[in-house]
Amino acid sequence: MSTIVLQYALNPTTEQEEKLKSHSGAVRFAYNWLLNEVLNNWAKVKNSETNEYLNTSSYALRNHLNAHKEEVAPWWKENSKEAFATGANNLSLALKGYYNKRTGLPKFKKRDLNHSEGVTFTTGTRRLEQGDKYITLPRLETIKLHEKATKARWLLNHGAKLTLASVKYSRTRWFVTLTFRVNDDLEQQYHLKRTKKDKKRSTIGVDLGVKNLAVFSDGTVIENPRIYEKYLKKLRRLNKRLSRRQGLDKKTGQMPSRRYERAKADVAKMHAKIANIEEDNLHKLSKRLVDDYSLIGLEDLNVAGMVKNHRLSRRIAHAQFGKLRQLVAYKSAWYGSKTVLIDRFYPSTQVCSQCGARSKVKILLHVRMFECDNCGVRIDRDLNAAINIEKQAVAQSCGETLNGRGDGSAGLVSPSETPVCEAISESRILTIA
């Protein structure tokens, strides 16, 4: 069995939005109150006031809250029980990460809608209504969707089971995330029905960069759209307006003005717009790769190290190389392609794609042409790197290679369909006189 996750934007009424905020607040309250109980219990154990630790499993935390919520939260009936259960479950997962030394000690959640807590509904009424344009959730009634839930309906009609429905405020609006449980055959049918039947060619190497977002080994150049820089002037103007407004002052107890709240919302909308455009471009590029090519070679870039370059950190961060790699990896398993990650230490830029000789001197970033000392070929450095990445991907594909799901089963191209282990028939070298 597998899962398919779909997300839809919501268009709630004013009354429904208040209910959504109330449910989000209930999640935050449950998380904070239980965290305070756990910390107090640890302090009592340390001071020898008790020798019994509080059970921090999700089930135990929910029971502990239920035993005290009449006195600590007399308003609890206003919200679904799932809100309090979500808060308890979130804290249990956070504490588990702390116990395993993966994360630090959980912190108390602040009241901030832009960082609100989502509510996960595992029981109760969860169904599409009125031509799949509305969704009904427990205690939230029927909320209008921003778009028709066509994909969700197709899954339900073909035997998928809706197991989870999560509501969360993100990027200046409310979203509902639907999780369906499907069998493997239905999952494959769902993804393949939206992909192209024939791919243009068997293999491709992709060199990622700042100047050009991607350069393919066949010579295709995907320019970096630099969305953030396009809206930077407007974003700065909005931030300047926000700085002139009367904000929150905890020392004097001064509350933020309405103009401040409106200006803050405008800044958040602009950030959301930039993020949405960047994500849309990455989805289009990743879908193009898995639609057109059977074998895709990508570099395993050390993005954390790259952003330490203060001159390029902003451009690198907004290029989202890691996000693109993630999208291509899991979409490859869906659409019958294979993604091969090339070791980050492989010198794709330093090796000649024509003769395989390595440059004797390191090629600096500002040098945009590669000149081979051995064979004399002169080629664009990014194209040279992309061809080397393709050759390396072909070589690695002959062995066992992990796909986007972490195994070697799904996402692999059948040898009968694509000769991935054969040598590249011709070199795509752009020679400049």
Give me the residue spans of the domains in the chain.
1-194, 201-227+263-397
Place of tokens 């009125």: 130
Q: How far is CA 228 from CA 238, 272, 284, 286, in A?
A: 14, 11, 18, 20
Ranking 13-17, 105-109, 123-127, 251-255 by mean pLDDT, the lowest is 251-255
Average pLDDT over residues 128-145: 93
DSSP label at residue 369: E
Pairing state between β 293-299 and 338-342: parallel
What tens digit of pLDDT does each residue of 71-125 get?
999 999 999 999 999 999 999 999 999 999 999 999 999 887 666 789 999 988 8
Q: Does the pLDDT of residue 274 top 70, yes or no?
A: yes
| Confidence (pLDDT) at 114 | 66
Ranking 125-134, 202-211, 239-248, 361-370 by mean pLDDT, the lowest is 361-370
pTM to 2 decimal places: 0.74
